[in-house]
Amino acid sequence: MPVPAKTDYNTRTSPIRVTMLGATGSIGQSAADLIARNPDRFEVVSLVANSSAKALAEMAISLKAKNAVLSDPENFEILKGLLAGTGIEASAGEAAVLEAADRDADLVIGAIVGAAGLAPTMAAIKPGRRIALANKECLVCAGDLFMAKIAAAGAEILPVDSEHNAIFQVFEAAEPDSVEKVILTASGGPFRTFALKDMAQVTPQQALKHPNWDMGARISIDSATMMNKGFEVIEAYHLFPIESDQLEVLVHPQSAVHGLVQYRDGSLLAQLGSPDMRTPIAHCMAYPRRMEAPVQRLDLASLGSLTFEKPDLARFPALRLALEALRSGGQAPAVLNAADETAVAAFLKGAIGFMDIPAAVEETLNAFAASGEISAAGSVEDVLNVDRDARQWTADWILRKAA
């Protein structure tokens, strides 16, 4: 990659113009908190959310946004009513989201969840613009296309995902050949110590309760299956100039060390911090400088010890499937994500069990590999077609299973 040009927005006298895609979610709210604490430094252009009109209107008013957009037009009248008389523009629908992503801004925070974020985040890639990327699905589903567009546009990508942000902070971009390996840490999630037979019985409520991080529903379930870590390996492969066999996952239950880079002189550099996304978000917002983030400082003495272990691919088959999808290449990671999104939604509705999530993903990947539909994508449309077909295949598998 992508040695990002160090655009130093901090030297400017006018505020940094920010657009947020996925403003009302967990990442969006953390970013909003940092913006609210620095009203002179940031100016909000557009805030985009899916359907939560009330949360979006409240945020737009408190951050003095110019524009608030819902991707789902159903609640548009509610949004319009809530913003009446404020001077804040309201719009809805997919075209309005793309228009908001395209609108002049210096920094776009990409925090939509799922493959739904692909088209809007792609639309936000423009010359000279900084993309602070949380939506890992952009890189999982369309990493080559996404990174090629960043390079062609002369845009800058900064990783929000905590592991990648950590790696970015310690990756000597000027000397990529000196890097031996890149290590992503994983908390192991709520079932790290569970026996395989007990994991089949876990409920959505248990799976949603992450031991260290407070996140949206989908990524919380993906953390419990460790699919999230698999996605993150794929994400890292696209972000950094390394080969897939240089990437490793290390389970580290305390979530204090977020990522590490090992160099050929034997040095192992790591970034540490409390498990609070406001640190990596602040790092992206102030880069290449630093800004104040109101996070609890990591107190190593009170933590006492940090432990590390190898991941168990037998109990966490989702991680194995993601690593295999990365090796298969082509559209396998897009199929992986589509099947997982569908299976996670079914699990949250109580339609399938926890271990059916990786089973559904594996069945879908096998079916697509067998049908040869997994060659490389030439365009975002190709990705969205495979995404749609894979969702349908997984949904049918789930129906057959229930029958």
Q: Report the interface residues with ligand NAD, using CB under 6 A.
A: 22-28, 48-50, 52, 71, 97, 111-113, 116, 134-137, 161, 213, 215-216, 219, 277
Minimum CB–partner distance for residue 161 and Mg ion (Å) = 4
Residue 317 interacts, among Mg ion, ligand NAD, none and using kind-specific CB cut-offs from 5 to 8 Å, with: none
- Find which of Mg ion, ligand NAD, none residue 67 binds, CB within 5 to 8 Å per kind: none
Q: Helix (H, G, I), strand (E, B), or coil: what is residue 263?
A: strand
Residue 135 or 162 with smaller CB distance to Mg ion: 162
Of residues 67 through 106, those in contact with Mg ion by CB under 5 A are none
Amino acid letter, 327: R
Partner in contact with 25, chosen from Mg ion, ligand NAD, none, beta carbon below 5 to 8 Å by kind: ligand NAD
Contact 140, 336 (CB under 8 A): yes
The residues with which 16 forms a beta bridge, in sequence order, are 42
Binds 109, which of Mg ion, ligand NAD, none (CB < 5 to 8 A, cut-off by type)?
none
By beta-carbon proximity to ligand NAD, the closer residue of 79 and 111 is 111
As given in the structure block, the two tokens for residue 350 are 């109580």
Which one of 106, 137, 156, 161 is in contact with Mg ion (CB under 5 A)?
Answer: 161
Query: Judged by CB, which is closer to ligand NAD: 167, or 215?
Result: 215
**Least Å distance between CB 11 and ligand NAD?**
29
Beta carbon of residue 327, minimum distance to Mg ion (angstroms, whole number): 21
Q: Nearer Cβ to Mg ion, position 161 or 341?
A: 161
Conformation bin of residue 375: beta by default, left when phi > 0, alpha when psi is -120 to 50 = beta
Task: Point out which span in 7-15, 154-162, 193-201, 205-213 binds Mg ion (CB under 5 A).
Answer: 154-162
The full DSSP string for 106-175 is SEEEE---SGGGHHHHHHT--TT-EEEE--THHHHHHHHHHHHHHHHHT-EEEE-SHHHHHHHHH--TT-
Residue 48, SS3 per DSSP: strand
Question: Of 7 and 165, which CB lies nearer to ligand NAD in the complex structure?
Answer: 165
Q: Shortest distance, CB of residue 22 to ligand NAD, whole angstroms?
A: 3
On the 0-12 / 13-18 / 19+ scale of CB atoms within 10 A, 83 is buried
Residue whose C-alpha is closest to residue 111's, from 246, 183, 218, 4: 218
Nearer residue to ligand NAD within complex by CB, 136 or 262: 136
Cβ pair 267, 141 in contact under 8 A: no
The entry of Mg ion, ligand NAD, none that residue 184 binds, CB within 5 to 8 Å by partner kind: none
Place of tokens 């580290």: 252
The binder of 46, among Mg ion, ligand NAD, none, by C-beta within 5 to 8 A per type, is: none
Task: Output 19 or 162, the one with its CB closest to Mg ion.
Answer: 162
Q: Is the dihedral of CA 342, 348, 350, 354 positive or negative?
A: positive
C-alpha span between 341 and 337 (Å, rounded): 6
Which residues of the chain form contacts with Mg ion (CB under 5 A)?
161-163
